[in-house]
Structure 1
């Protein structure tokens, strides 16, 4: 009897949630082949781009992109993804893909969920055509698919959601983004970037389809690496011995065109450093640090954003792989 072809694994992440650290842990696994950010160029630079932030830094970065990147569409990203899946499975390996969930968020869903009308005229919903059959996909008008990927494709995946406490990822996003891409608190993309709402929406959609996604918290990934990766290996039916926790420092293979700061810590690392992820944090204490570093206005904005993002984080956290619910 032939062995069933393993489902492709799709890592739905978010900026600054240690997703590249997670990929590094599985990067040399003999059963897996990894492709990251298939839709990055379409999201950032292409004619259908969904990023709505308007800054001199982004304009300059866009001007410096290749013509190929400027022409990137979501259909191209999807076609490349399907080719990668088919080629990887033909070699007897499991394909692993990773994108930030908000790269894929339907702009109409974004406008409704985050209640900012400014996105509507700036971003049109990309159309992705697929030859995949409907399969077990169940249409539910009360639970609309929140991303632009075809539902027929989504149900063929083994989804993994990566999360992190907002008290860590929100200021981290601001710190790296303020100079590199001109991030400002309250700008057109800030509500999406500073929230795990897109992650929660897709997580709930999968649950509505009868699929139980895996949720991994950066806190567990850093402080309980062995338990987290052993639980994941068991769930994915892969050999735990293929996981690595030490490596040589190296530059990232993927160039986002947004500056080196986004991957600097990981690029210079040779293993997991728990000091980057304190087990406990006091919001007032962190707020004081933000005010000292960036001033009262930014500190207040970060504090409000962290508080607003907590509900979605805690909801997802209770479903994490080490909670026994994932």
Structure 2
């Protein structure tokens, strides 16, 4: 079994921080790194997001205004050298340009090492076309802010939707965490309005940050170059039986099987936490222990507070939690009209309309990824 750093790729508000806390209990053998690529995505000189484009002070105050994608990888490499298995949980759209824009390699990663004492530039390649998985008619990108670092004046890799070269992507063992947009979208929206926005510093809801389109495109690309799949954890069917539409592997990358596909649906995890975490551990090569589901010591809480400090307001529930406990009852199944009524009551007509639009825009990508989710 590979001992590569585990990279749990997810979207916002997928119960991912609670999921991460499970593995933070294993501090003797696992080194958790919490959402490192957001530093470069939002604040650094290679930032892809325009969220703080007009607020230079916010970028400086973050402490990450000099973070590049390379400095993030440098940190991961340093922590990988400590003898523990590295566990990264991160939001996948941090590695992709927003609004389905074509990707090119981040300038700091444009020259990557290919063996001791050697390096080589990423070859020039045509930009990929806008993805089929995003409805650009529903989401209109804002004008690129003056002085924004993206788009980069760098090469692209054929088919690669990220700003990271495939050779670097291949250094991770990828797994995936998803959740129904009916839950994740309003949860994220709540963090961008009063009173929470005063804590988070995110003062508007940006539909491009939902993250499903980016997660799906990365998932399909990793499948196409056989970094994951075709075998699906806990299922007898292979991914190619579910979706055989992907193009053949890119030249230069193996066509043999990669790491098995490991997709966790957060709502399934909340129903059966122990079996799901055990199946996840088996898939990625970690030893499972039931004690991982409980974190109620002073050391546990201190570790969580320090790890989640940079994203204030987003992780309050996970910080205050004591463990991962199975739900006592199955979640109530709601009609779309009931969802709309709930959002209208909580967030008013404008908020409800924005949530509805985002949910509808992301359901197809969620349902696509759901096909590959583990069953326990």
TM-score (norm 1): 0.80
Q: For residue 53 of structure 1, what is the aligned residue in structure 2?
A: 51
Question: What does 1:284-323 align with in structure 2 at a 5 Å threshold?
Answer: 284-322=337-375
Q: Is the 8 A contact 2:12 2:210 kept in 1?
A: no
Question: 1:27 Cα shift?
Answer: 1.5
Q: Is the 8 A contact 1:52 1:119 kept in 2?
A: no
Q: For residue 83 of structure 1, what is the aligned residue in structure 2?
A: 78
Question: 1:140 Cα shift?
Answer: 8.1
Q: For residue 254 of structure 1, what is the aligned residue in structure 2?
A: 307
Question: 1:225 Cα shift?
Answer: 0.9
- Paired with 1:60 and 1:77, the residues of 2 have a C-alpha distance of 21
- Paired with 1:192 and 1:276, the residues of 2 have a C-alpha distance of 33
Q: For residue 265 of structure 1, what is the aligned residue in structure 2?
A: 317
Question: 1:23 Cα shift?
Answer: 0.9
Q: For residue 69 of structure 2, what is the aligned residue in structure 1?
A: 74
Question: 1:126 Cα shift?
Answer: 6.1
May I ask how many residue pairs the two structures share in their alignment?
297
Q: For residue 158 of structure 1, what is the aligned residue in structure 2?
A: 173
The question of 1:23 aligning with 2:20 is answered yes
Q: Is the 8 A contact 2:40 2:69 kept in 1?
A: yes
SS in 2 for 1:184: coil
Question: 1:37 Cα shift?
Answer: 2.1
Q: Which runs of 4+ in 1 moved over 4 A?
A: 125-129, 255-258
Distance of aligned partners of 1:149 and 1:252 in 2 relative to their CA distance in 1, 3 Å threshold: farther
Q: For residue 184 of structure 1, what is the aligned residue in structure 2?
A: 204
Question: 1:59 Cα shift?
Answer: 5.8
Q: For residue 174 of structure 1, what is the aligned residue in structure 2?
A: 189
- Paired with 2:149 and 2:330, the residues of 1 have a C-alpha distance of 35
Q: For residue 210 of structure 2, what is the aligned residue in structure 1?
A: 194
Question: 1:316 Cα shift?
Answer: 0.5
Q: For residue 234 of structure 1, what is the aligned residue in structure 2?
A: 282
Q: Is the 8 A contact 1:167 1:283 kept in 2?
A: no
CA root-mean-square deviation: 3.0
Distance of aligned partners of 1:155 and 1:305 in 2 relative to their CA distance in 1, 3 Å threshold: same
Q: Unpaired segments of 5 or more residues in structure 2?
A: 103-129, 230-260
Question: 1:54 Cα shift?
Answer: 5.0
Q: Is the 8 A contact 1:222 1:277 kept in 2?
A: no
- Paired with 2:317 and 2:211, the residues of 1 have a C-alpha distance of 22
Q: Is the 8 A contact 1:127 1:148 kept in 2?
A: no
Q: Unpaired segments of 5 or more residues in structure 1?
A: 130-138
- Paired with 1:104 and 1:256, the residues of 2 have a C-alpha distance of 22
1:9-55 Cα shifts (integer Å, max 9, x gaps): 11112211111111111212344222222222212211222221258
Q: For residue 90 of structure 2, what is the aligned residue in structure 1?
A: 99
SS in 1 for 2:363: helix
- Paired with 1:60 and 1:290, the residues of 2 have a C-alpha distance of 34
* Structure with the largest fraction of helix: 1
Question: What does 1:105-124 align with in structure 2 at a 5 Å threshold?
Answer: 105-107=96-98, 109-110=100-101, 112-113=130-131, 115=136, 116-118=140-142, 120=144, 122-124=148-150
Question: What does 1:133-148 align with in structure 2 at a 5 Å threshold?
Answer: 141=158, 144-148=159-163
1:214-264 Cα shifts (integer Å, max 9, x gaps): 1111101211112211211221232211651121272532356453x2011
Distance of aligned partners of 1:14 and 1:147 in 2 relative to their CA distance in 1, 3 Å threshold: same
Question: 1:277 Cα shift?
Answer: 9.1
- Paired with 2:99 and 2:314, the residues of 1 have a C-alpha distance of 28
